[in-house]
Amino acid sequence: MTESYKTNHCHRTTLQIPAQVSCLSLGEPHQLFVGSDDGSVRIYDMATLKVLKAIRGLGAVSSITFHSQTKSSPARLWVASGRQALSFLLGADKLILTSANISSKLDIGADDDDVVNELLINAKGTHMAFCTDSGSVGVVDLSNNKVTRMRNSHDNICGTVQFIPDRPSELISGGYDSTFLHFDFLQGSVLSRDDLSAAPPSSGVSLSPPFILSMSISSGGVIAAGTADGRVYIGTAGEKSLEGPGGRQKRRRRWDGLKGEGKLVEEVARGPIAALTFTAPRKFLTCTLLGKVTGHQIHGSVADGTLLLESQWTHQCRDISKVNSITTSGDSIIIGGFQKDGRGVIEIWTKTDDVNIASAGVDE
């Protein structure tokens, strides 16, 4: 992979904020949520890149997830801060929210050192998954805010969790123990698991352990995960097929994405894969800790021996020294992290070929 690989994504703008960007998330309609380690959350309008609302005065923010409005519940934002998950109603006229405006507060971690690393709400808005520094994984029933922890946990930090698309009771987690755990969260039981072994040393130099740092699952049921030693794990055995009568998708009894057949593990970078997200059923982005973004596509199948991963382009972040999060919105790629002086920074790239490069000032 070299810089000669072309991408039609161009730098659109850079947003700077006082503290490092710890997490990014998207909401409706066209809203970008930005969490920082100074205990603040900013809500941007993606069209104008203006701040619509902010939350201040929390502890360090590690994750954000948006709960869409329903007939029985208004739109709200869930924020992970320390051991807690906090929810805020977004319909209020107030532009600056504080801890006084918390509508729900849940103790997720076992103690103050058990930080919540990720929150994620499922597609139906019925449950919120979480994972913590102690390795625990669980869900919150959003109808009554009941917290349920899985009986099995990781042996080390669990940093990422994902719901399985179209599987109403299945989720998967990845940990610093280099293990994937696939749960039926209604039963609290493990359905399958897989363990990553360390890559062989390169040129006599030991690589980082294969901690699982980032993970995403496509709408088609393909899993991709990034590790601390620069590899990606691809699992296609749970991919939806069109093998049913009349071309209908054949539904398996459960998701099989961790099965050995259909798996690829390949080195794609010389550093930790800090962030990863799917952009299409077989296309995804990886971003290294030092800001190298690469677009990948999965080709072929195991059945005919043609399964392979193609890295199609790569591009270096312009203003970010270290990356914590990446997400996409329409034709835009949004990357968050911090600069050498510790200030927070967000880069927004767009597919538009004709782009006027801009640089936004500090948002206080």
Looking up tokens 């669990």 gives 158
Spatial neighbors of 144 by CB under 8 A, at least 6 apart, are none
Residue 192 forms part of a structural domain: yes
Token couple for 79: 């924020």
pLDDT in tens, 35-73: 999 999 999 999 999 999 999 999 999 999 999 987 777
Phi, psi angle pair for 71, to nearest 5°: -60, -30
CA-closest candidate to residue 227, choices 204, 206, 207, 205: 207
Structurally, the chain folds into a number of domains equal to: 1
pLDDT in tens, 262-274: 999 999 999 999 9
Residue 45 forms part of a structural domain: yes
Residue 359 forms part of a structural domain: no
Residues of the chain with pLDDT under 70: 1-7, 199-207, 242-251, 352-364
Spatial neighbors of 317 by CB under 8 A, at least 6 apart, are 287, 291, 292, 293, 323, 335, 337, 347
pTM: 0.91
Q: The domain that contains 144 carries what CATH number?
A: 2.130.10.10
Residue 221 forms part of a structural domain: yes
Phi-psi region of 56 (alpha: psi -120 to 50; beta: other; left: phi over 0): beta
Sign of CA dihedral 108, 110, 115, 118: negative
Sign of CA dihedral 212, 1, 25, 51: positive
CB 324 within 8 A of CB 305: no
Domain hosting 334: range is 10-238+255-351
CB 245 within 8 A of CB 201: no
Residue 208 forms part of a structural domain: yes
pLDDT in tens, 277-311: 999 999 999 999 999 999 999 999 988 889 999 99
Residue 306 forms part of a structural domain: yes
Residue 175 forms part of a structural domain: yes
Phi, psi angle pair for 263, to nearest 5°: -110, 140
Burial code of 7-32, b = ≥16 C-beta within 10 A, e = fewer? Answer: eebebbbbbbbebbbbbbbbbeeebb
Residue 243 forms part of a structural domain: no
CA-closest candidate to residue 314, choices 341, 300, 296: 296
